Amino acid sequence: MSWWSFERRWLAVIWQTLLPSGTPGGLALGARDVPLDRFLDELIAFAPRRVTLGARLCVWLLTFCPLFVIGRFALLSALDDDERLAVLQKLAASDVYLVRELPTLFKMLGALGFAGLPAVQAEVGIAVRDEAPPDWVGAEKP
Amino acid sequence: MSGAIVQLGDVRDQAQVEDAADVVIIGTGAAGATAARVLTEAGLDVVLVEEGAHVGPEQLRSDMWSSFKHVWRDLGFQVASGRAITPILQGRCVGGTTAINGAIIHRMPEKIWARWRDEFGLGAALPYAELERIWQILDRELFVGPAPESVLGKNNSLMRTATERLGIAGNLIQRNVKDCEGSAHCNQGCPTGRRQSMNVSYVPRAVAAGARVYATCLASSLVTRHGRSTGVVGRFRDPLTGVRGPKLVVHARRAVLLAASAIQTPLFLAKNRIGVGSGVLGKRLQAHPGTAVVGVFDAPVEMYRGATQGYESVHYWDERMKFETVAMPPELAMARLPGLGPELMRELASYAHLAVWGVQVRAEAQGSVRAGVFGGTQIEYDMTDADIRVLKLGVRRLSEMMFAAGARQVLPGVHGLPPAISSVDELAPMFDAPDDPRLFHTIAAHLFGTALMGGSAFNSVVKPSFETHDLPGLHVVDSSVFPTNMGVNPQHSICALAWLAAERLV
Ligand SMILES: Cc1cc2nc3c(=O)[nH]c(=O)nc-3n(C[C@H](O)[C@H](O)[C@H](O)COP(=O)(O)OP(=O)(O)OC[C@H]3O[C@@H](n4cnc5c(N)ncnc54)[C@H](O)[C@@H]3O)c2cc1C
Ligand code: SF4
């Protein structure tokens, strides 16, 4: 089941907030520099349906959460970077288990795609075994 | 006769595949492959049916996602529900979970065996001396030995330093690896075929002795004749896309062995209405849930160099906890690191300075497994409050060990605590918090008990002879039959029981 392009944009913004590029003292690479959109295609094509449906629902929950978290009537993607990060941090610190798992879910999914890339692994110091990136990087939509 | 591994691509054009053998085995993991090794070398003709694909070392990549896709069940997304969501990790490929495991070898502790004898009456059926005889053969054939110093790596040697400084027992892990090169890739699948998982040891050995392996083929039902199990019906199916191929029918002249793991075995039995009247089928699911503690060191640790799991401590086994090192690839480490945004990227940049060690709990919790209403698998599992107290103590002890080894900071990964601590005193609030699994991120990888072995069809599924009470000719030989968990890594015990079961068929 394909995602709407606005849902993809919302997720891209969440990933870019969680995994920003060019962090001083951190990695130069971030979600913006790698084709995580294609990784989403992989997830949609191959992950169990409950996972992708759950992720899709969670994208909506995160996108509409600023009203409930910071009292701002705005989409998460419409906030500036710092505000967006603050919202996600607040959720991650929640005492409600399912609420704090929301950002964790996207951190986990993003990490699976992002940190598996040879360029990222090389940046963290690993002598990378595979020169070519995983299939999904160059794949057409499955 | 020479054997073969046959997959969907080889039979796509056929309407149906038929075969016959003395024994048909469902599953090629620790249990199924070991049984095949024994039966083929005793001269029996064997067929194995395996849901997953045959993935050779040369096809493996070092990133976790590629491995999830090709050799893990549900791409690593299988979970149990309870108060917390617990990933239930399994392999799905030729070799089963042994193809992604840490190669840690342990024999069943005698105290556990004594409990099986005294509480479950299994002493005569599973004599410890027999198990020891088999472990000796397994040790030899699977190249079991301590993790070599040459590939220990710092993640492992730091735990040794910690145990020495704290005066607790620790040891190099006994592993089933031949000439390990210390690539820390065991959970992605050993890229050099050095770990003696079943896909590189007993499956090829059985094939060389004539066994046929039908991989990418899901066994779904049994053929029965005169009230006896006489074969297996399955269907070829691409494990990734679900694209279906021909039907498989294999006739069994002597027996069918079910070795599909403690999750899939009860599902198969329930679907075929076997053991349902026992009241215990799919119940009593036991595990060793665990969590990881991360240490941050000033000097590089480089856990990507060395044996994935090379050092352990069973010092506190009587208190239901075991500690082991585990080299986490960056994908999994990143998900475990506490930060978000720039903080996360800084934490990831220090990946080379991180050590990761885990605590696994011999949990008293019992869960269940059944077919989900909309397909799939419904697993329920909830650690008890007492289990959580063990886990809390385990996290505290691991943190003490990290500091004893020289960690600058520890990232305990416990909700409500600071993300990074500089002293174990900062863990105090954890002990005041409710005993709730939602404080932690736990996983469970060792699974037992869902088709209990016992003397009566009213409270067990499988006889002490491994044959099901309900259907003669059908034997269950995996860890579903274990009455309890063990507090140590189970592969060697699973292999030994399957070996014993197979010998009794010869
Ligand atoms: C990440 C991880 C690390 C581990 N590390 C260790 C370790 O270091 N040491 C240790 O002792 N243990 C370890 N374990 C556990 C150990 O590997 C397992 O307990 C053991 O492999 C289980 O053996 P099994 O034969 O019961 O099941 P499996 O090895 O899981 O094999 C079952 C096979 O049956 C197949 N199957 C299932 N249903 C069907 C069907 N209907 N039709 C056809 N085929 C089917 C599956 O695809 C699978 O290949 C680890 C587990 C995990 C997940
Ligand atoms: S550490 Fe590397 S070489 Fe050694 S067994 Fe594991 S994957 Fe194979």
- A77-90 confidence digits (pLDDT tens): 999 999 999 999 99
Smallest CA–CA distance from B345 into chain A, residue: A26
Q: Are B98 and B159 found together in one domain?
A: no
Q: Whole-angstrom Cα distance, residue B107 to residue B495?
A: 10
pLDDT value at residue B1: 57
Show which of B392, B422, B441 is a domain's final residue.
Answer: B441
Other Cβ atoms less than 10 A from the Cβ of B370: the count is 16
Three-class DSSP category at B32: helix
Q: Where are the alpha helices (DSSP H) in B273-357?
A: 330-336, 342-349
CA geometry: angle B180, B185, B189, nearest 5 deg? 95
Q: Are B129 and B59 found together in one domain?
A: yes
Ligand 1 center to residue B10 CA distance, Å?
Answer: 25
Ligand 1 center to residue B90 CA distance, Å?
Answer: 6
E strand residue ranges, B50-173: 79-81, 86-87, 144-146, 171-172
Q: Are B212 and B342 found together in one domain?
A: no
Three-class DSSP category at B336: helix
pLDDT value at residue A142: 45
Q: Which residue has the tokens 């349902």?
A: B276
Measured by CA distance, the residue closest to atom 5 of ligand 2 is B195
pLDDT value at residue B276: 96
Q: Are B485 and B103 in contact (CB under 8 A)?
A: no
Q: Are B36 and B162 found together in one domain?
A: no
Q: Whole-angstrom Cα distance, residue B119 to residue B97?
A: 29
Measured by CA distance, the residue closest to atom 4 of ligand 2 is B180
Q: Are B212 and B233 found together in one domain?
A: yes
The DSSP secondary-structure symbol of B275 reads S
Q: How confident is the model at residue A131 (pLDDT cuts 50, 70, 90)?
A: confident
**Taking a contact as any Cβ pair under 8 Å apart, which residues of chain A between 56 and 85 contact chain B?**
85
Q: Are B359 and B432 found together in one domain?
A: yes
Show which of B419, B441, B463 is a domain's final residue.
Answer: B441
- For the Cβ of B353 lying below 6 angstroms from any atom of ligand 2, the answer is no
Ligand 2 center to residue A116 CA distance, Å?
Answer: 18
Q: Are B274 and B295 found together in one domain?
A: no
Q: Are B345 and B472 found together in one domain?
A: no
What CATH number did the domain enclosing B166 receive?
A: 3.30.410
**Numbers of helices and strands, H then E, in chain B:** 13, 21
What CATH number did the domain enclosing B486 receive?
A: 3.50.50.60
Q: Are B311 and B172 in contact (CB under 8 A)?
A: yes
Q: Whole-angstrom Cα distance, residue B96 to residue B100?
A: 8
**Cβ of B345 and A97 within 8 Å?**
no
Residues 6+ apart with CB under 8 A from B432: none
Per-residue burial over B9-48, b if 16 or more Cβ lie within 10 Å, else e, is: ebbeeeeebebebbbbbbbbbbbbbbbbbbbbeeebbbbb
Which residues of B are the active-site residues? Answer: 446
- For the Cβ of B186 lying below 6 angstroms from any atom of ligand 2, the answer is yes
Q: Are B71 and B172 found together in one domain?
A: no
Residues 6+ apart with CB under 8 A from B460: B278, B280, B452, B453, B454, B469
Per-residue burial over A63-81, b if 16 or more Cβ lie within 10 Å, else e, is: bebbeebeeeeebbbebee
Q: Report residue B164 as tokens.
A: 């020495």
Q: Report residue A117 as tokens.
A: 């890339």
Ligand 1 center to residue B247 CA distance, Å?
Answer: 25
What type of residue is B282?
A: G
Beta-sheet pairing, B244-258 with B474-476: parallel
Q: Which residue has the tokens 């896309």?
A: B241
Q: In B, which residues are within 8 Å of A20 by CB distance?
A: 341-342, 345
Q: Are B193 and B137 found together in one domain?
A: yes
The closest alpha carbon to B292, from B382, B410, B389, belongs to B410
Q: Are A123 and A29 in contact (CB under 8 A)?
A: yes
Distance to chain A for B425, nearest Cα, Å: 21
Nearest CB to B64: which of A50, A95, A116? A116
Residue B182: inside a domain: no
**Taking a contact as any Cβ pair under 8 Å apart, which residues of chain A between 91 and 130 contact chain B?**
92, 95, 97, 100-101, 103-104, 107-108, 111-117, 120-121, 123-130
**Cβ of A108 and B335 within 8 Å?**
yes
Residue B372: inside a domain: no
Residue B375: inside a domain: no
Three-class DSSP category at B123: coil
Show which of B441, B461, B488 is a domain's final residue.
Answer: B441
Q: Are B305 and B399 found together in one domain?
A: yes
**Cβ of A89 and B63 within 8 Å?**
no
Other Cβ atoms less than 10 A from the Cβ of A45: the count is 16
Q: Does A36 touch chain B (CB under 8 A)?
A: no
Q: In B, which residues are within 8 Å of A28 by CB distance?
A: none
Q: What is the pTM of this model?
A: 0.97
Q: Whole-angstrom Cα distance, residue B80 to residue B381?
A: 6
Residue B199: inside a domain: yes
Residue B301: inside a domain: yes
Interface test with A, best of B340, B350, B377, B439 (most A CBs within 10 A): B340
Q: Which residues of chain B have pLDDT under 70?
A: 1
Distance to chain B for A26, nearest Cα, Å: 4
- For the Cβ of B177 lying below 6 angstroms from any atom of ligand 2, the answer is yes
HEC assignment per residue over chain A: CCCCHHHHHHHHHHHHHHCCCCCCCCCCCCHHHCCHHHHHHHHHHHCCHHHHHHHHHHHHHHHCCHHHHHCCCCCHHHCCHHHHHHHHHHHHCCCCHHHHHHHHHHHHHHHHHHCCCHHHHHHCCCCCCCCCCCHHHHCCCC
Q: Are B166 and B396 in contact (CB under 8 A)?
A: no
Specify the ligand 1 atom closest to the Cα of B498.
25
Q: In B, which residues are within 8 Å of A19 by CB distance?
A: 341, 344-345
Consecutive H or E run containing B162: helix B153-166
Distance to chain A for B237, nearest Cα, Å: 14
Residue B376: inside a domain: no
Q: How confident is the model at residue A127 (pLDDT cuts 50, 70, 90)?
A: confident
Q: Whole-angstrom Cα distance, residue B284 to residue B267?
A: 14
What total of structural domains would you count in chain B? 2
- For the Cβ of B92 lying below 6 angstroms from any atom of ligand 1, the answer is yes
Residue B428: inside a domain: yes
Q: Which of B61, B149, B183 to mutate to test the pocket of ligand 2 (most atoms within 8 A of CB)?
A: B183
- For the Cβ of B49 lying below 6 angstroms from any atom of ligand 1, the answer is yes
Q: In A, which residues are within 8 Å of B352 by CB distance?
A: 124-125
Distance to chain B for A129, nearest Cα, Å: 7
Distance to chain B for A16, nearest Cα, Å: 8
The number of the ligand nearest the C-alpha atom of B303 reads 2
Three-class DSSP category at B397: helix
Residue B31: inside a domain: yes
Q: What's the domain range around B389? A: 146-177+286-365+384-441
The closest alpha carbon to B90, from B103, B74, B106, B66, belongs to B74
Q: Are B52 and B69 in contact (CB under 8 A)?
A: no
Q: Are B192 and B291 found together in one domain?
A: no
Q: Report residue B321 as tokens.
A: 């906890």
